[in-house]
Amino acid sequence: MSEDRRFTVEEANAMLPSLRDTLHAMQRARQVVLASAERVRGSVAGNGGGKPAGEYADALGLLRRETERLSSEGILLRDVDSGLLDFPGERDGGPVFLCWRLGEDEVGHWHPVDSGFSDRRPL
């Protein structure tokens, strides 16, 4: 994916159904990682970890694959917990980020590329 990719609001909104599914899966995987990290670390030294180690490895793999996929599509994952994404876009001829968070119906905000969520503004 080109680093020069710019999304329109319509293009970003069209991607939201699949992105919702992706983010929910990533959030579940992150919970598996957090819940089992200490348990797996302790058991791997003794017996290879068994089922918890496999679930942990699967969850880490999902997080890695989906993060890389989003990046390759030009989408910036800002926060898994809140499901915060930025889509490079344009406003008034200049680069901006179209900002969306899981739970919002559509992409309805933007912010300058040199700032973040706290500076987001309605479209």
Q: In the structure encoding, which two tokens stand for residue 73, read together?
A: 């599509």
Residue-wise pLDDT tens digits, 76-121: 999 999 999 999 999 999 999 999 999 999 999 999 999 999 999 9
Q: For the sheet with 76-79, list strands across it.
A: 76-79, 84-91, 94-101, 109-112, 121-122
Q: In the structure encoding, which two tokens stand for residue 43, read together?
A: 């058991």
Which pLDDT value is given to residue 55? 87
Strands 84-91 and 76-79: antiparallel
Residue-wise pLDDT tens digits, 25-83: 999 999 999 988 777 566 555 555 556 678 888 999 999 999 999 999 999 999 999 99
Q: In the structure encoding, which two tokens stand for residue 58, read together?
A: 């699967």
How far apart are the C-alpha atoms of 5 and 3, rounded to whole Å? 6
Whether residue 96 contacts residue 111, with contact meaning beta carbons closer than 8 Å, is answered with yes
* pTM score: 0.85
pLDDT reading at 1 higher than 50: no
How far apart are the C-alpha atoms of 92 and 90, rounded to whole Å? 7
How far apart are the C-alpha atoms of 104 and 43, rounded to whole Å? 40
